[in-house]
Amino acid sequence: MQRTKPQEKNVEQNLRRIQKLQLENSVTKINSNKYTMEDLANEIFYEIFEYLDLYDIYKGFYNLNIRFRNLTIHANVLTKINSSIMSNSNFKDYYQNIVKPNQQQINFLRLTNPFAINIIFSSSRTISNFYSLETLILDNLQNKKFDQFFDYFIRLPNLHSLNISLNECIKSLYILFCQIFRLPKLKYCKIEYYTENEKKPLYVDLNYNFSSTIEHLIINGPFPFDSFNNLLCCLPKLKYLSINSIVESHK
């Protein structure tokens, strides 16, 4: 029996209806199997954070929602703070939201401009909260703040690595090294400085009573030859010493 045209049309419509239902069911099934970023476990995000810069973690996740904000704040990678890629305004915001709530767990701190340094070292009470700090790197440190900051450094019970570069001519090598040798647990120290006359450095008369715990010392700056023996006597635990410029003393 031959089908009439209306019958063929009905069959075609039914076939299309069935195909449409099948497609809708397939789409529904696909959607039901989709995973969003929020479906991932916290542990996965912590692993992802290990490959990202801390500031990128903060900018990318902190303001998404409460869950990601908490993840950002409590991530283990936040024990290391590096301000080298931040503007002043960004660091101020970053300090309030990330650094300040995590002061007690931070063990690595790098500050690269006077603005960031002055925020962190605003008072002895502020720096005392960083009692887990082990490594401190300060670039472009102002000489006028030097003595004050070293009084703060002594309040850091676990500080064993210090890297400092001064942004002004230093007037007293004696004060510089006396302050460094005061730090009770320091094992590694790298200091960079310059004087007005690089060929005739300031004389430094180090006292034999000084006894530093430093084992690894790097001096990038003119150091007087006549003070070299005194320096060694102050470093009974020294294992490595590098001085990039030893010159005739200028008394």
What CA–CA distance (Å, rounded) separates 93 from 167?
Answer: 25
Decide: 148 and 117 in contact? Cβ < 8 Å.
Answer: no
pLDDT tens by residue, 70-107: 877 666 666 677 777 677 888 888 888 878 888 888 88
5-14, 23-32, 54-63: segment of lowest average pLDDT: 23-32
**Residue-number span of the structural domain to which 215 is assigned:** 171-251
Cα–Cα distances (Å) from 19 to 73, 166, 239, in that order, read 50, 75, 79
Distance of CA 63 to the CA centre of its chain: 21
Query: What is the spatial distance between Cα 36 and Cα 152, in angstroms, rounded to a whole number?
Result: 47
43 — pLDDT class (breaks 50, 70, 90)? confident
Residue 7 has pLDDT above 70, yes or no: no
Share of the chain above pLDDT 70, in %: 76
Q: Is residue 124 part of a domain?
A: no
Name residue 207's amino acid. Answer: N
Whether residue 156 is contained in a domain is answered as: no
Domain for residue 189, yes or no?
A: yes
Is residue 1 in some structural domain? no
52 pLDDT more than 50: yes
Per the CB < 8 A criterion, the answer to whether 97 and 72 are in contact is no
Is residue 111 a part of any domain in this protein?
A: no
Mean pLDDT of 180-184: 91
Q: Is residue 233 part of a domain?
A: yes
pLDDT of residue 159: 95
The mean pLDDT of 33-49, rounded to a whole number, is 72
pTM for the whole structure: 0.72
pLDDT digits (tens, 9 = 90+) for 187-235: 999 999 988 766 555 667 776 667 899 999 999 999 988 888 889 989 9
Q: Which tokens in the block code for residue 162?
A: 């210090």
Cα 222 vs. chain centroid, distance in angstroms?
Answer: 29
Query: Is residue 248 in a domain?
Result: yes
In the block, which residue shows the tokens 């900018």?
A: 59
Could you tell me which residues come within 8 angstroms of residue 106 by beta carbon, excluding any fewer than 6 positions away?
Answer: 78, 79, 80, 81, 99, 130, 132, 133
Q: How far apart are CA 118 and CA 123, in angstroms?
A: 9
Number of domains in the chain: 1
Asked if residue 160 belongs to a domain, the reply is no
- Predicted pLDDT at 30: 47
Q: What is the pLDDT of residue 76?
A: 62
